[in-house]
Amino acid sequence: MKILPFKIPKTSQESFRLQEDQEIHFYDHLHQHPEVQLTLILESEGKVIVGDFVGTFKPGDIFLIGPNLPHVFRNDSKYYQEDAGQFAHSITVFFEWQSFGEKFLSMPELAHLQEFSKLSARGLFLQEPVRNRVAQLMKQMFRKNGMDRLIVLLKILNILSENKGIEALASSGVYNDFDEVDGKKLADIYRFTMNEFHRKISLDEVASIAHMTTNSFCRYFKKRTRKSYVDFLTEIRIGQARKLLQQDDLSISQISLEVGFNNLSNFNRKFRELCSITPTEFRRIQENKSIAA
């Protein structure tokens, strides 16, 4: 429950690491590591935090997380229930830019890749049509060995360096200056919020989680995450609302209550502020996508 260097194990026979995770739920502690992480979600849903970005994940999503960028994939509550029959499944590539050698990225033919390596520090979310191409190549990597595997990784990086269909996640800046105390506080706050966002949360209550006064907590959280706790909580709630709006079994007013808003007009206003459209418009767009598919 702290942000500490998280070493990705790899043998002396490999310069980068492929990892498949198939568990009841993903590793849910806020952490960071020097390796770049490229993760394809195959099964399960939940919330994701990358630096100061707050969002959700679902099957098919691909995230690239930059070196030493604090992050956590937290599955929905149903994945923590005993005998629920739910599983989290992902495949991940871990690599370091330095593994390619100092002169590699400075080659004129790779100028676009050097620029991409800088952008990747913020964390990236892949969208279509890039996402499908990268997903297929990532699956292909697990069937390759040796140089063939490396060639596929270079193909992926070449696609990503075109910067088409890619969304930067975290704000620019340095995120690797967290110490153990900071890490534990933020991890406790994030865990509490992702578990309790559906109900009313007072600043006094969450400040007590961090063992701080309310005023000190508000200053601390804003300095460390570049947003107020209220904004952070709102982003968690709206992210969950977006997920529920893609289902047909709940009305918009029911979803508003489900994610912690007691006032429908306030829910509509906050949703529009973050998504630029209303919940009704969002649901209509998702329905049209389903019909088209």
Question: According to the 3-state scheme, what is the secondary structure of 165-189?
Answer: CEEECCCCCCCCCCCHHHHHHHHHH
Describe the strand order of the beta sheet including 124-126 as a list of residue ranges: 17-23, 88-95, 36-43, 62-65, 124-126, 166-168
Is residue 192 located within the same domain as residue 263? yes
The answer to whether residue 257 is domain-embedded is yes
Supply the pLDDT for residue 279.
96
Torsional sign, CA 51, 56, 57, 62? negative
- Lookup: tokens for 94: 């871990």
- 107: confidence class by pLDDT, cuts 50, 70, 90: confident
pLDDT in tens, 201-239: 999 999 999 999 999 999 999 888 888 999 999 999 999
Based on the fold, state whether residues 161 and 203 are members of the same structural domain.
no
Domain for residue 11, yes or no?
Answer: no
Tell me, yes or no, whether 28 and 140 share the same domain. Answer: yes
Clarify whether residues 158 and 188 are in a common domain: no
The last residue of a domain, from among 168, 203, 226: 168
Contact residues for 258 (Cβ-Cβ < 8 A; gap 6+): 198, 240, 241, 244, 250
| pLDDT at residue 30, as a whole number | 86
CATH of the domain at 260: 1.10.10.60
Q: Residue 243 has which token pair?
A: 């997920």
234: left (phi over 0), alpha (psi -120 to 50) or beta: alpha
Q: Domain tally for the chain?
A: 2
Domain of residue 163: give its range: 17-168
Secondary structure (3-state) at 5? strand
To the nearest whole number, what is the mean pLDDT of the chain? Answer: 87
Residues 164 and 21 in one domain: yes
Which pLDDT does position 13 carry in this prediction? 54
Among the candidates 168, 190, 212, a domain finishes at: 168
Q: Specify whether the CB–CB gap between 243 and 77 falls below 8 A.
A: no
Looking at the structure, tell me whether residues 272 and 185 fall in a common domain. Answer: yes
pTM of the model: 0.80
Q: What is the pLDDT of residues 253-270, one digit of tens each?
A: 999 999 999 999 999 999
Closest CA to 118 of 52, 173, 54, 48: 173
Rounded CA-CA distance 132/190 in Å is 31
Look at residue 268 in the predicted model and tell me its pLDDT: 97
Q: What is the mean pLDDT of residues 123-141?
A: 94
Pair 185, 213 in one domain:
yes
pLDDT at residue 186 greater than cutoff 50: yes
The rounded Cα 285 to chain-centroid distance in angstroms is: 23
Residue 159's closest CA among 189, 136, 175?
A: 136
Query: Helix or strand or coil: residue 20?
Result: strand
Mean pLDDT to the nearest integer, 69-93? 90
Of 117, 133, 168, the residue at which a domain comes to its end is 168
Q: How confident is the model over 79-108, as a mean pLDDT?
A: 85
